[in-house]
Every structure is written in C-alpha cells, then in structure tokens.
Structure 1
Amino acid sequence: MRFLGRDNDAIIIYYLSPYPVYLKSILTICLKRFEERSIAINEYHAVQANQWEYLATLFKKDITNYVERDKYLLANRSLHLKFKFMVSNDIKVDRTNVPEAQLSNDFENLLNNGLFSDVTIKSAEGNEYKVHKAVLASRSVVLKAHFEHNTTECYTNVVESPLESEVLREVLKFIYSDKAPRVDEFPEKLLAAADFYQLSRLKSLCEEALHKKLTVENAIEILQLADLYSAKTLKQLTLEFIKDGHAELITKTEGWAKVKSVDLIKVIYEYVMAND
C-alpha cells in the first residue's frame, strides 16, 4: 500500500496488486475499542497488475474534528485504520457499453439472403436452399465429404438431402447460427438429422428436449430413439427414469406392447434388475 501525505491536509491511500484480480475493498476507521466505522467501500471491479489503484482520501478536518476534539484519533493520538480486501481470480469486465455479439446473426442472414452462395442443397421434397461450401464443410464432416475428391457434388454444386424441408431448414439454421429455436417442436426428427450429419451439439440439444418430454407413456419410444441414434445420454436418463419406480407402469403402456427388439427388452431388464 502507499500513503501520500502525512502532515498536510489530506492522506491519499492507494493499493497495488502484483496480479490481475477482481476485488472489493473496504476501509474502516477504528474509533474506540470495539467501535469501528466504514469510511470507504469500493465494490467488485477489475484491478490490473502492478498499477496503483485509488482507495480513499482522508481529510485532516475529518480526522481531527474541532467540535468533537480529535474525533478519529485514539487515546495515544494514533490513527487506526483497517483494510479488508475480498479477491477473486475471476476478472469480470464491464461490457455495458459494448454491443452484443452479432456473429451468429450475421451468418444466419448469410443463409437467409444467399449472398455469395456457391452450392445448392435440396430437401426431400425438392425445395432448394442457397448455401456455402465453406460453412457446411466446417460444421459437418458428412457435408464436407460431399465436396472432397471427385464426388458428383463437386461438379454439380448440388447436394441432395434426405431431410424434409422443415427439418432441413432448421438444420441449416443451426449450422449457420449454432441455434435451434424449434428444437422443442420436433426433437425426434432433429435428433435423426443431427445423427445423420454428425452435429454433436444439435444432437445434445435434442436429447435435452426429449428428456424434458419424458413420461411413462412415451418412455419406450424415447428409449428406442436413443438406442437407434446412439444418443447415449438420453438412453441413460431414460433407463434411470424407468428404473426409478416406473417399470411396472411402463409395461402396461402401448409402447411396451409394440416393442419388437429382444435386445432392447434385455437392456431394460438388466438395468432395472441391476443392484436391486
């Protein structure tokens, strides 16, 4: 710490940190035994390394009050100050004046207006979308493979997709913006699409959406989806749901009556019986 001034009209107090920190400081003056008063409180803020930071100014007229003689001085004529610093290594920067990131919106606009597109992708119904090879290839190894080596797509610049228009549009929106606003509307179809194009984050979003919809009535259908598309997290959560007191009720549902996979029934049985 650094004190500027001693015999003059003010004492200016600075402090310095050898590391960048996120810090709150409190300066307290001790009046008498067990009697204190906080005279400066600086809320959490970013402190740079090795730069003097202002804490407070103590004026002589406040320390020595001529009405209440030596208001802040102790019996031995000393000034007793207490400093408290609460430090975090998680430096937070005030970004109130910084505009929000527009990258995802800008890329989504690129999809919407088709500007500088160099390839067309068609839905199962034949609807066309003007897209960009570089974007598709950077997001999906499956789509990237369409443009490598001597593939038909390299010459025609047309990609045939097995997805319906509604699903394909949502997949493209995710590829361009990393957002899937309609994932809760048809997570089953999007899960299949995410698995087909190997979009792991979209797949996780679909698993989360399906888990939120999990009930006794649809548990078997969701488990079959999870098994079919290798959605490991969803499969684990669904098995836990079945085991957690729902197994008997689920065996009475229509979904259970339609199960044809012996292997799936075996998986359920082994999971429910494990550790019982």
Structure 2
Amino acid sequence: MKGNGTYSYLEPLISEVEHIFVIDDFASRIESGLFHKESLFSSEFGNIHPSDPKLTMIFQMEVKFDRFELYDVNGKLLQINCPFIAVRLHAKGLKQDRSVEFQPKGKCQFTILDDFEHPIKESEDNQMHSSGVRSWYVEKFLCLDDPRTYLCESGALVLRSHLTLNLGDRIPKRSYKREDQSLDVSKALSQRLSRESYPDIYLVSQGLRFPCHKHMLASCSEVFEAMFSQENSSEAISNEVKIEDIDPDTLEKVLDFVYKDKVVDFEGLAINLIYAAEKYNLENLKILAVQRAVQQINVMNVSEVLILGDRVQSNTLKEAAMDFILRNIQSVRSSAGWKELTQNFGNLVDEVLGELL
C-alpha cells in the first residue's frame, strides 16, 4: 500500500528544574550528635510541559544526617560512625486535562554548595525510579569524611538538586514530503496471523512446542535471522528450535512481545525476560523488562538484580540495585543472595563498599 503524507524528524522533549535547599540547623546537629532527624522541603514548579501549561510538579526533598558502622565482606570493622547525608527527592506530577499518562524519565544530581554557591561535593547523575503512575523518586548517600568542612560560615548546609526530565513526548525538528510510504510488512502480517496459523517453525521448551513463523522471529531478532539463514542447520532441517535455558512461561511472554509488540502482564517474570531478551537481542523487550524489574527489587532478589544489571550492561538496573542495597544494607547483608555475591562477584561488592565509603 502506498500513500502521500508529511513526515518529520523528531527529537526528545527535555525539561530541567533546579532548586537550592538550606538546612540552617545542620551545625547544631553535628555538635549535639543529633542523628536521624530529617529536614523536609517542598517546592512546586509549573510550566514543566510546553504543550500543557496547567501541568505542575511538586518536589519534596528529605535530607537526613546519619552514621553507620561499616564492615568488609569478612565482617571486619572498617570504619566507625562514618557520617553521611541521605538525600531523597520525591517528585509528583499533577496531570490536568491530559488524555495520556504523564510518565517521564529523569535523572538528578545533588551538590553541596559553599557560601558563594560554588560546588564542594557532588554526586553523579542518579536515575529516578517510578513509585507509582505519577510519582518518581531518587535517593543518594553522600558520605562526609568531616561534616564541618561542608558547612557555610553560618553553620548551614546548602544542597542543590538539579533534575532533568525526559517527558517522553516528541516535537518536530524538521519535516519533508514523501510520495511513497510502504507499510511495515511484519507488523501488517502480525495483525493477520496468529501464532497458530500456518506455522513453519516450532520453539521447544521443556517438551512444550510453541508454533511460530520464521519471518516474525527473524524480523525481531538478529539471532533468529542468522539461525534461519543457514539452510543446513539442525533448526532449518527439523523446523524446531530447542531452548533449554528459558522456561515455557517466559518463552510465552517473549512470543507475546514478538507478535503483539507488548507484554500485557509480566507475572513476576521480569528478570527471566531480561535474560531472554539479552540472549535473542530483543532490545525493546529488554527495556520494558528492566523497567518492571526495577519496580520488583526486594531484599531477596537485589543481589541477583545487581549481577544481572552488570552482566547485561544495564546501568538503569545496576544503579537501582545499588541504591536499594545502600538503603537496606543491614537487611541485604543477611540474605543468601549477598553471600553468593561476596563469594563469586567480589568486584561488585567492592563497588557497593566504594559507594558507602
């Protein structure tokens, strides 16, 4: 099918907001040893989205001065009462008169400033994580070797947060006319064919056979494309692909994505789907699964998530796991996953300890 139309190059829509928070009583906290006390600040920003002037976001900053005892993997005490600032930025989007969900991606950098607002200590960019349909947060531990060196002359602590939001929408960069536009063949066929209609290949997992079509698998995965291009391969001869490292439930979700371009319900299989997406080079599925896995991190699986994030080179997954471990270090150190981490992945343990120091 051919048609006429105007097409555009598109670019991401980025919005940046920045705010400075001043904690006046920070010096007195240090002198009195008053730990665990939180300072809470709120600010409201408008004009976040140029196409929706009514959209505002509320930013809530929580800052807590705390200390902890730090141990190495063998249980040896490394440092006593190492002080740090726990910073949590919570952003809430207020959606008004919008027909689509507002779910931006974001990253935040925290910086301690001096009296002249010059940076003294700053964190790297930290990814924000979703905690609801319209709610996001980022947490960071800023360790202080001597807290007094980070204070202004008045004894206050000045902290700046810089938040960069990718609003997900796109705006035209430039347009051009094009006479012929062909429909995507794979997409058109997927709308007409179910997996059970005229299959020419079967994927086999634990004895279960899943009917499929070579053109659908090859159009989504370079791995399958290379496999089916070899006429003398065992898969081409038998019209079967035996998959021993992906269970049937996970494989069913993979095929849902191939044929429907979405996963309706992850059913706790996000981590398994990341492995499968990495194996068959399904990048879009990997992105979806990583987003869901971040939401499902807990004490029991965080070590596995950290290992997986490092293995598949997903900064989003790895940073989320690191942040969770830092916030729940005592509970995580008692888990079976942490024991495996210390025994087999010393480099990752060193990274965690490096963040704590």
The alignment's TM-score, normalised by the length of structure 1, stands at 0.54
1:98-177 maps to which residues of 2 (within 5 A)?
107=190, 110-115=193-198, 117=199, 119-149=200-230, 150-162=232-244, 163-177=246-260
Aligned match of 2:289:
206
8 Å CA contact retained: 1:105, 1:177: no
Offset, 1:274: 4.0
Q: How many residues align?
A: 174
Q: What RMSD, in angstroms, separates the aligned Cα atoms of the two structures? A: 3.0
8 Å CA contact retained: 2:342, 2:349: no
Offset, 1:105: 9.4
Q: 1:167 to 1:111 in 2, by over 3 A?
A: farther
| 1:248 pairs with 2:330 | yes
Offset, 1:198: 1.2
8 Å CA contact retained: 1:217, 1:255: yes
Q: 1:205 to 1:247 in 2, by over 3 A?
A: same
8 Å CA contact retained: 1:120, 1:128: no
8 Å CA contact retained: 2:218, 2:225: yes
Offset, 1:109: 5.8
Query: What secondary structure is seen at the aligned counterpart in 2 of 1:259?
Result: helix
Aligned match of 1:19:
none
**Structure with the higher helix share, 1 or 2:** 1
The CA deviation string for residues 247-276 of structure 1, in whole angstroms up to 9 with x for no partner, is: 2332122322343544x3432333442484
Aligned match of 1:196:
279
Aligned match of 2:304:
221
> For residue 127 of structure 1, what is the amino acid of its counterpart?
L
Q: 1:230 to 1:108 in 2, by over 3 A?
A: farther
The separation in 1 between residues aligned to 2:277 and 2:319, in whole angstroms, is 19
> For residue 249 of structure 1, what is the amino acid of its counterpart?
S
Query: What secondary structure is seen at the aligned counterpart in 1 of 2:211?
Result: strand
Aligned match of 1:17:
none
Q: 1:180 to 1:105 in 2, by over 3 A?
A: farther
Offset, 1:186: 1.4
Q: 1:235 to 1:177 in 2, by over 3 A?
A: same
**Structure with the higher strand share, 1 or 2:** 2
The separation in 2 between residues aligned to 1:184 and 1:259, in whole angstroms, is 26
Query: What secondary structure is seen at the aligned counterpart in 2 of 1:248?
Result: helix
Aligned match of 2:72:
none
Q: 1:143 to 1:152 in 2, by over 3 A?
A: same
Offset, 1:144: 0.8
The separation in 2 between residues aligned to 1:126 and 1:143, in whole angstroms, is 20
8 Å CA contact retained: 1:121, 1:161: no
Q: 1:164 to 1:270 in 2, by over 3 A?
A: closer
Offset, 1:231: 3.4
The alignment's TM-score, normalised by the length of structure 2, stands at 0.43
Bigger CA radius of gyration: 1
The separation in 1 between residues aligned to 2:270 and 2:356, in whole angstroms, is 32
Aligned match of 1:73:
none
Offset, 1:180: 1.1
- Percent of matched pairs sharing the same residue: 25
Aligned match of 1:39:
none
The separation in 2 between residues aligned to 1:171 and 1:238, in whole angstroms, is 24
* Structure 2 residue runs without a partner (length 5+): 1-50, 52-170, 173-185
* Structure 1 residue runs without a partner (length 5+): 1-22, 24-88, 91-102
The separation in 2 between residues aligned to 1:166 and 1:191, in whole angstroms, is 14
8 Å CA contact retained: 1:239, 1:268: no
1:222-241 maps to which residues of 2 (within 5 A)?
222-241=305-324
The CA deviation string for residues 61-93 of structure 1, in whole angstroms up to 9 with x for no partner, is: xxxxxxxxxxxxxxxxxxxxxxxxxxxx87xxx
Query: Greater relative contact order: 1 or 2 (C-alpha under 8 angstroms, separation 6 or more)?
Result: 2
The separation in 1 between residues aligned to 2:192 and 2:249, in whole angstroms, is 18
